[in-house]
Every structure is written in C-alpha cells, then in structure tokens.
Amino acid sequence: MRRQLFARYPTLASAQLPAQAKTILRSELIEVDRLWRNVDLVSFTNDAGKTETGIFKYFTEMARARHHWAEHKLLLHLPPHPLLPRYTRTVLDENSGRVVGFCAEYFSGRNLLQASPRVLKLSWLKELMHLVDELNLTCGMVHGDIWPANLMVNEATDEIKLLDFGGAQPLVEQGTGSGYMYDNALIDVQKLVTTVYRIIAHKLPELTLWAEIPTWDWPQHPHTKLDHSIPEYQRLLSDWVARRQELLANGGDQPRRKKQKKMSQEWPCRAKLSEILKFNRALCCPPYKPPPVETEPAENPWVTWERPATKDLVPGVVMLANGKKAG
C-alpha cells in the first residue's frame, strides 16, 4: 500500500518570529510559476499598494521542515547584504492562521549550474569571498551548501547572489563534537574554491587536497566566460585560502570564537526548534490519516492544500498559492 507523508504547521505564536516579521495570507499570493519542489514564483500587493514579485518557499513533509525553518528564521536575523536574498513575508494559512512558508525577494538571473555560457567575473568572486568571511568570522555561521546552483547572476545589473540557506549552521571549532553538521571552520572556503573550479572547467575536481586546487592547471571550458585570465582567479583564491588557514592555525580568530560560542547558544534556528518540529512530524497513512476538514478541532495543525498538478494547469487561468482560482 502506498505511504503518504503529511506535514503539520505551527501557529504564529509557537513559531516565535521576531517583531520585524511581516505576514501575508496564502490566499493573497498569486501563482506565477512553479520553479522547483516547494518553491514557487508569486506576486502580491505590498505595503505601498504596488505589485511585488517574490519567491514563495514552503514545506509539505517533515524531511524539509528543518531546512525550511532554518532558512526562514536565518533570513529574518541576518543583517541586510547585497549578495543575500531579502526576506519579505511570512505566509499564513488563510483559515487557521498557521505558518505555511515564507517569501523572499525575487532575483532575476540565472544560476551558474544551468547558465550557458557560465559567466564569472573576478569582481563577483571577490564579493563572494568577502561575504564568506563575513558569514564565518562576523556572524559565526557557515552556509554549508555553496555550489553553482546556489549562485545566481545577472550580467545586466552586474550582480551575484548566494541563495538557499536551508543548510546553514553555527560555526564551531573542528573536533569539538558540537553535534552540528559542519564541524569545520573552512567548509565554506573549501566549497567556494571547488565551485569556482567547477564553473570554469565544467567538471568536478579530482579527489585531492582541496587547498591545492588553485595551483592546478585549470582548463577553461568553451562555454565559460571570464573577464580576467585564469591565473588571476587562481592567485586570488590561493591568497585567500592561505589567509584563512593562517588565521585558524595561529589562533588569530580568538575574538571570533567567543562570538561564535555566544552565537551557537543564541542561534535563531535552534530557538524552540524542538517545539516547532513537534508540530511538523511526518505521519504515515495508513495507519493514521488526518480527520476530515469539517470535523477538525480549532487546535488541529492540519492545513488544507489542494493544488492542481502542474500538468492540469490551464493556460490563462490565474491561480492563487492555495490552489484556488483567483477571483
């Protein structure tokens, strides 16, 4: 018998979002496109009365709940940065008022995994390196999932953004047994170095010491577009890797470590996470299935979300994010 997974959603109070969180009903979002699993392009009317386009991210099963809440809360707490997505709204179910997702700003561009040609400007790489340093050494966190698909570029506006913070974790000292996934102070440095090689060569580097990658003879793929010579990219990365390794080896990050310890204790994605997740356990059917909507008590955490399959969408028919027709 086929098993189905269900998600339960927390109330706004149990989500414990900061005061600056703005809310919007799911029925106020107009579906523009379905970009990826649990990721839609939507439009809505903002506080100024103008139409705003955004990315609506949500979860429909327990497997995505932790990543979803990590990104949702992290975007609310991170300081504004031109290379980071901007949080715009927390999305509530229009009937129960429970939190079903969040919206972030829409960035028009192409990710560097699918783009052809793949464009990587030296100035963008410098910005990314500064961003990684700021995240690691100032905010005390790691992104943990830097790779070409999470880098969006727009040549017309000369911008690059780092997306998808669902796997972000507090940065801790290596070997401390913290229980966090990324127990390595240089994990983001390693991932950015391998990502640049992958963008330029259109292939993964061979298994080797990652810090040696900038010293290799890098082949440039015909569908890669650079604005400087490959040796300039390599020198930039080599100097950066050496600085970060020296900082770690010489204990020059001592002030940062104290901040990181405090950050780990106050990590926004940890706060009451266990209380949130107990509302989002995946349940199997059978032996259990949610009661009918009309018999659900007010405190029941189930949310009705009957969206038509993508293949059943009718061109020209405007749909809301809750699966109902607009108007």
Give me the CATH number covering residue 28. Answer: 3.30.200.20
Three-class SS state of 188: helix
Same domain, 93 and 138: no
Per-10-residue mean pLDDT, the chain, length 327: 57 81 94 90 93 92 74 83 91 89 91 87 95 85 91 88 86 53 76 94 79 85 93 94 86 55 48 37 28 43 77 87 87
Residues 228, 120: one domain? yes
Domain tally, the chain: 2
Residue 274 lies in a domain: no
Please tell me whether residues 144 and 182 are part of one structural domain.
yes
Inter-CA distances, 224 with 116, 127, 145, 152, Å: 8, 19, 22, 15
Same domain, 96 and 122: no
- CATH number of domain containing 138: 1.10.510.10
What does residue 86 show for φ and ψ, rounded to 5 degrees?
A: -105, 125
What pLDDT score does 253 carry?
A: 56
Find all residues with CB under 8 Å of 148, minimum gap 6, and list them. Answer: 111, 112, 113, 118, 195, 198, 199
Structure tokens at 71: 């990104």
Report pLDDT for 259. Answer: 54
Nearest to 126 by CA among 235, 253, 216, 200: 235
Q: Can you give the residue range of the structural domain that contains 136?
A: 110-265
Establish if 271 belongs to a structural domain.
Answer: no
Residue 189 and residue 90 in one domain: no
Determine the distance from the C-alpha atom of residue 237 to the mean position of all C-alpha atoms in its chain, rounded to a whole number: 24
Please tell me the predicted confidence (pLDDT) of residue 44: 96
Looking at the fold, whether 72 and 119 belong to one and the same domain comes out as no
> Looking at the domain assignment, is residue 35 inside a domain?
yes
pLDDT for res 308:
84
Closest among 50, 7, 79, 16 to 275, alpha carbons compared:
16
Q: Closest Cα partner for 34 from 327, 316, 325, 313?
A: 313
Q: Quick one: pLDDT at residue 310?
A: 84
Please check whether residues 96 and 194 belong to one and the same domain.
no
Same domain, 35 and 88: yes
Helix axes 187-201, 230-249, angle to 10 degrees: 170
Place of tokens 């070997």: 175
Please enumerate, as own/partner, the contacts of 33-40 that have beta carbons within 8 Å and a separation of 24 or more.
Answer: 34/310, 38/64, 38/68, 40/321
Given 208, 241, 265, which residue is the final one in a domain? 265
pLDDT of 320: 92
**164 & 257 share domain:** yes
Beta strands in 255-303 (DSSP E): 283-285
pLDDT value of residue 233: 96
Q: What is the DSSP letter of 78?
A: S
